[in-house]
Amino acid sequence: MDLSLDAALEVLARTPETLRHMLGGLSPRWTDANEGPDTWSPGEVLGHLIHGEETDWIPRATMILSKGESQTFEPFDRFAQRDRFAGWSVERLLQRFAALRAGNLRTLEGWHVTPEQLALTGRHPELGRVTLAQLLSCWVVHDLGHVAQIARVMAKQYADAVGPWKEYLPVLTR
């Protein structure tokens, strides 16, 4: 499926509320858990999503629309959340993410992006030439991937507790 901006907005607008429903009010037993060394907890994923709202999606889209390929995107620090949001509660992270996402979606909607603009290109520091449509599609898939990651991390907390049912639960084995 090619990018439909309306369809993309449907998902992007729902992610903060989805995460609030998944994580809001849960104990640190759930929100601080991870899958082992060098993996992220749901709280760390929230910090990563916030960092992306601040430094990735709209800033890069702005660069594509205003400068094209004349300036390479700033590299994205995929691990900035570890230091930046250390000590933040999940509730604070959820609120910050929701506020940033709402503002970014207002910006995107206010641009009234045309099909011609979706074909405009920018320069990624590792991937080279990318289109605005690819960037916006990536934003949607990035959200969905991290929602799935959070669900997987939470499910794996009961990997042993499910006993023999584990073989029927692919979230625990893939």
* Total-model pTM: 0.95
pLDDT tens per residue, range 57-68: 999 999 999 999
Task: State mean pLDDT over 132-144.
Answer: 98
- Tell me the CATH class for 5-173: mainly alpha
* Exposure string over 114-150, b if 16+ CB within 10 A, otherwise e: eeeebebbbbbeeeeebbbbbbbbbbbebbeebbebb
Distance CA 58, CA 52 (A): 9
Average pLDDT value for the chain: 96
Six token digits for residue 142: 């990035």
What confidence tier does 82 reach under pLDDT thresholds 50, 70, 90? Answer: confident
The ranges assigned to domains in the chain are 5-173
Note the pLDDT tens digit of each residue in 33-54.
999 999 999 999 999 999 999 9
